[in-house]
Structure 1
Amino acid sequence: MKKVGAILMVLCLFVVIMVGCTKESKENEKGGEESKVESTESKTSTNKKIKIGFAQKTLENEYQKALAEGLVEAGEAKGWEVTVLNAKNSIENEQKNMETFVSLKYDMIFINVVDTEAATASINAASEAGIPVIGIDSHVAEDAKVVTNIASPSYGNGRLVGLYAAKQYDVDELISTGLLSGNKGNPGGLDRRLGLFTGVIEGRIGCTETEARKFAEEFEQQLVKQGKALNQDANFEVVAQGWGGWSIEGGLPEMEDIMVANPDINCVMGENDSMLIGAMGAIEAADKLDQIQIFAAADAMKGALEAIMDGSSYKATGLNDPVLVAAKGIDVAAEVLIDGTDPKSYEKIVYTDAACITIENAEEYYDADATF
């Protein structure tokens, strides 16, 4: 009996041990499953689709359409989701669009501002919510908390076009110019015409860029005060300034008025291609294409490139490619969001490369299928 009792005790102890081991094994297995879930959730979080918002001021012209399309395409090429909200040139709409991106917790916002000062509150609200903001194309205010601004080099492009224009006239020939500007007070427009003035003066006098820039600023002051300006050493004058509102429709009548008052001009310069394409129509109607050469500080739009390649009086334009601007913006976004670059490490403005496009190189930049 004692022997049987001992055997039963051993069997009971074995069962208890086996049950305990089985329980521990199941708990470990359960813990392993929980670990797998945590690991999967972590991987999903790491690889979640990045969401980019673009608060675009307008989609009502070809440049802005191409800029939006370029941002979407460059973002999607990285597997990102890019949403464009159109403010339709309304400050109120822009504020609502920015609030939408913040409330939906987008990873980054690009903004092409309707108004420099009015956009600051929305930009800073997004930044304070932990969403980095990048200005693109238009200038933002000094106190706007952006990572940087992405833009074509307005001054740099203008200067290269001005240098080219200086070579298209004999040294002793007066460059008598009609100027087409976009709208008063626009900082980008000012940079573009200062670039044009600097390039012409630098090319004609043979001075340094720094010296030419100083002369160009004095030239601009003359223009503001008198409506015309002259640099005798460069044999260069602007006889009138028209405000074409950046459009073909605005450039044409302004050019007509300039030619009526100044029939002997041999040059027209402007702050973008659209106005100068309009001006070219007015020049053609006046039968003065052989008399007046045309130079734009920007944009290298398709119509201007076609005119340049045709060997017309449209001689040069600066490279303001919205697709390149968009691609540069997405590159900066990737550096911040993926590579971990400090957002505070960027310069105030990140530029694309400056270029002057002429009959010698226009084919390199021309795309028949381009939106802009």
Structure 2
Amino acid sequence: MMSKRIKKITAALLTGIFCVSMIIGCSSKAPGESTDKETDVKEGSGKEDYKVGFCLQTMDVAVWNTMSEGMEAEAKKLGVEYGCQVANNDAATQISNIENMVAQGYDAIIIHAFDREAFADVVKEALDKGVVICAYDDNIIDASTGEPCNYQLTFLCDNYEIGYRVGTMAAEWTKETFEGDDPIQFGLLWHKEFQFQRDRVEGIRDAIAKLDPRIEIVEELEGLVTEDGVAAAEAWTQSYPDMKGIVATNDTALLGFSEAWKAAGKDVKDPKFGMFGNDGVKDAIDMVADGTILRGDVGLDVYNGGAQAVDACVEVLNGADAESVIMPMVNVTVDTADEWKSDTNLYK
């Protein structure tokens, strides 16, 4: 039985990839314009040896390690000092880390806004001291107004677009693979806690409805970590033997599903089954390149996105009007996977 293999599968996967990589998600709404006081950063200081910091939720996610590497490389290129502090998923620690960076003289701080409202006060204090703030992953919300604080920059994803791309790849595959008007059963794996996940699901549904309404999402299950994918495989292979595919808001759950699929003796290259997700995790890209049931992935270019965020911070420090950063993304299929893999900054 598949359930006897769950622990073995999970352990193998967790050593190969970091879980929860889809939490890279974020709001695409930008904050209001900064005040003159906030944008006029350290005017006349003549300072050249800037310090740019990244206050991050956790390093237990592969793509965030890659993002920090991109930030560090860009800082070195620009002659800027770079530092990263990790909150280990704790908002109070994140606040303390931000306070420490301000006290240590950091000129700009990229803040992972994994709690939308918890960091508003410390951000206001940093802005009052002339620090450039870039909100990553989501906006930092002032609870008294319900609006984003007036910081200078954001580094966000267009999560609706990510989902729409996932749904588009799924619909293009079903149109090429299945004839007739009969419904095509799909499952959906996602994590309902976060708004960015809801945005991705909205994009998936809209693309499917427009491009191939034959696709019928027959069930939604939790899809955050490897174990979720394993559990979904166990459930759906029994309850929906005619299911033809899965759409998901990350790669990690799909990797769990595929391992359980193989463990059940099913063909990992079954031409009548397709999975579609996002993140660009190495193991997922390998599966796409090998022509397996994981047929399409929206790869997020976190390395170059991180570099762009540091560059934008330095531009503001130098008195320029920098644009906020939108995470670069690439559709990866069997036809384009080798191009992704050839870039060592993407394929990690």
Q: Name the TM tier (shorter chain).
A: 0.7 to 0.9
Q: Aligned partners of 1:202, 1:128: CA distance in 2, in Å?
A: 48
Aligned partners of 2:123 and 2:45: how far apart in 1? 26
Contact 2:187 2:217 in 1 (8 A): yes
Write out per-residue CA displacement over residues 70-127 of structure 1, whole angstroms, 9 at most, x where no aligned residue: 2111111111011100101111110110101111231100011231221222222212
The answer to whether residue 282 in structure 2 is matched with residue 302 in structure 1 is yes
In structure 2, distance between residues paired with 1:317 and 1:140: 29
How far did 1:265 drift? 0.8
Return the letter of the residue paired with 2:238.
Answer: V
Matched, 1:265 2:243: yes
Task: Please give the secondary structure, in 1, of the residue aligned with 2:123.
Answer: helix
* Contact 1:133 1:145 (8 Å CA) reproduced: no
2:344 maps to 1:364: no
Does structure 1 residue 239 correspond to structure 2 residue 214? no
Other-structure match for 1:200 = 208
Q: Structure 2: any 5+ residue segments left out of the alignment?
A: 1-43, 142-146
User: What's the CA shift for 1:300?
Assistant: 1.2
Counterpart in the other structure of 2:292: 312
Flag the 1:260–1:125 CA change in 2: closer, same or farther, 3 A: farther
Q: 1:109 maps to what in 2?
A: 109
Whole-angstrom CA distance in 1 between matches of 2:151 and 2:45: 26
Q: In 2, Cα distance between the equivalents of 1:118 and 1:178?
A: 35
TM-score, normalised relative to structure 1: 0.73
Shift of 1:50: 0.7
Q: Is 2:132–2:313's contact at 8 Å kept on the other side of the alignment?
A: no
Q: Residues 293 and 314 of structure 1 are in contact (CA less than 8 Å); yes or no, is this contact kept in structure 2?
A: yes
Cross-structure match for 1:180? 189
Q: Call closer, same or farther: CA 1:276–1:156 in 2, change over 3 Å.
A: same
Q: Give the C-alpha shift of residue 255 in structure 1.
A: 3.1
Corresponding residue number in structure 2 for 1:150: 155
Q: How does 1:121-132 map to 2 (within 5 A)?
A: 121-132=121-132
> Post-superposition shift, 1:138?
4.1
- The structure with the largest helix share of the pair is 1
Give the Cα–Cα distance (whole angstroms) in 2 for the partners of residues 116 and 261 of structure 1.
38
- With a CA cutoff of 8 Å and minimum separation of 6, indicate the structure with the bigger relative contact order: 2
User: Is residue 244–residue 251 contact of structure 1 (8 Å, CA) maintained in 2?
Assistant: yes
For residues 267 and 121 of structure 2, what CA distance do their matches in structure 1 show? 49
Root-mean-square deviation over aligned CA pairs? 2.2
| Equivalent in the alignment of 1:279 | 257
Do 1:242 and 1:255's aligned partners in 2 also have CA atoms closer than 8 Å?
Answer: no
SS in structure 2 of the partner of residue 74 of structure 1: helix
Does the C-alpha gap of structure 1 residues 87 and 239 become closer, same or farther in structure 2, counting only changes over 3 Å? same
SS at match of 2:173: coil
Contact 1:113/1:139 (8 A) holds in 2: yes
Q: Give the SS at the match of 1:70.
A: helix
SS of the counterpart of 1:105?
coil
Does the C-alpha gap of structure 1 residues 367 and 188 become closer, same or farther in structure 2, counting only changes over 3 Å? Answer: farther
Structure 1 equivalent of residue 226 of structure 2: 248
Q: 1:199 to 1:137 in 2, by over 3 A?
A: same
1:239-283 Cα shifts (integer Å, max 9, x gaps):
1111132x2233222332233322221111100111111111122
Is the Cα contact below 8 Å between 1:110 and 1:136 reproduced in 2? yes
Deviation at 1:47, TM superposition (A): 5.1
Aligned to 1:326: 306
Aligned residue pairs: how many? 292
The residue number in structure 2 matching 1:292 is 273
> 2:93 maps to what in 1?
93
Gaps of at least 5 residues in structure 1 are 1-43, 205-233
* Partner secondary structure for residue 198 of structure 2: helix
Q: Which amino acid aligns with 1:266?
A: K
| Percent identity of equivalent pairs | 25
* Residue in structure 2 matched with residue 19 of structure 1 by the alignment: none
Residues of 1 paired with 2:168 and 2:259: CA distance?
Answer: 25
Q: How far apart are residue 177 of structure 1 and its match?
A: 1.1
| TM superposition shift of 1:299 | 0.6
8 Å contact kept, 1:150–1:351:
yes
Distance 1:71 1:288, change over 3 A: same
Contact 2:295 2:333 in 1 (8 A): yes
Measure the CA separation in 1 of the matches of 2:115 and 2:233: 28
- Helix, strand or coil: the match of 2:162? helix
Contact kept in structure 1, 2:171 and 2:215, CA below 8 Å: no
Report the AA paired with residue 164 of structure 1: M
